[in-house]
Amino acid sequence: MHEIPHFIILGGAKCGTTSLYFYLNQHPQILPSSKKELFFFNKSSKTVEWYRNQFPESVKSDEITGEGTPIYLVHPQVARRIYEYNPKIKLIVLLRNPVERAYSQYHHFINTEKHSFEDALEIEKNTVKKELIRMEEDENYIPDDVFRYSLVERGLYHKQLERYYRYFDTNQIHIIKSEDLFQNPQKVCNKVLKFLGLPRCKLKDREARNTRSYHKMNPDTEAMLYDRFRAENQKLYKLIGKDFNWEEGK
């Protein structure tokens, strides 16, 4: 079992992981990795030695270190790989309204001049599900950029978290509603630090990272997505014992 890193921010994508990683690294007892996203557990080519070298060489007994790679949450093989690496690790998950998350991902990752949001959703229907099935069957298969178009898939949080609950105890997984982080980063960070076994630390810089503005979604598309996610959200609430009230208009 490997003790480093002590924690991983699993995702999700466009849910505030960059901001949370930045906030946590303001704590004097948290040491950063070489970069936030290491993409180790979703790859098969990098060695454990390489991964360990991405963290500080010397970590004192009262210090911890961690990384944050959002693709870990949706990748079908990662939960098992993390467990095999360190079954005692602590995991942090941010979950955002899946409709808003999908639209944010579209604007961040996809050429909006080439594909409309609706086009991107159609591309996902025709490609992503087949690729994910192949990834589940062949752990060494690495598709070309399949997650760029996984706009709906990345919002199916119930399915993603089930994989992690299969391997890890619930007390090893700290789930955050992204909207809470956006509204009150200090309060959310206090809870994360408690989860990590560290004392509170006042944030000197609360500015959100990796954000952008864009025009509103087509109302018909928005309504369709709220319908698509409604049952999935209810499964999530039952799984985690929390209701995030992500219904349309709230």
pLDDT at 127: 84
pLDDT at 147: 77
Q: Is 83 exposed, middle or buried (0-12, 13-18, 19+ CB in 10 A)?
A: middle
Q: Whole-number mean pLDDT of the chain?
A: 92
Q: Do the domain assignments include residue 123?
A: no
CATH number of the CATH domain containing 102: 3.40.50.300
Answer whether residue 40 shows pLDDT above 70: yes
Answer whether residue 144 shows pLDDT above 80: no
Count of structural domains within the chain: 1
Closest CA to 7 of 15, 16, 20, 19: 20
pLDDT at 249: 53
Q: Do the domain assignments include residue 249?
A: no
Cα distance between residue 207 and residue 96, in whole Å:
18
Lowest mean pLDDT among 108-112, 208-212, 224-228: 208-212
What DSSP state is assigned to residue 61? T
Q: Is the pTM of this model over 0.85?
A: yes
Q: Do the domain assignments include residue 65?
A: yes
Answer whether residue 39 shows pLDDT above 60: yes
Quickly state the pLDDT bin for 110 (edges 50, 70, 90). confident
pLDDT at 103: 96
189 Cβ contact partners less than 8 Å away, ≥ 6 residues apart: 20, 23, 24, 201, 203
pLDDT at 70: 94
* Whole-number percent of the chain with pLDDT over 90: 74
Q: Do the domain assignments include residue 42?
A: yes
Task: For residue 52, give the H/E element and its range.
Answer: helix 48-52
Q: Is 238 exposed, middle or buried (0-12, 13-18, 19+ CB in 10 A)?
A: exposed
* Whole-number percent of the chain with pLDDT over 70: 96
Q: List the domain range (segments joined by +) for residue 52.
A: 7-109+153-240
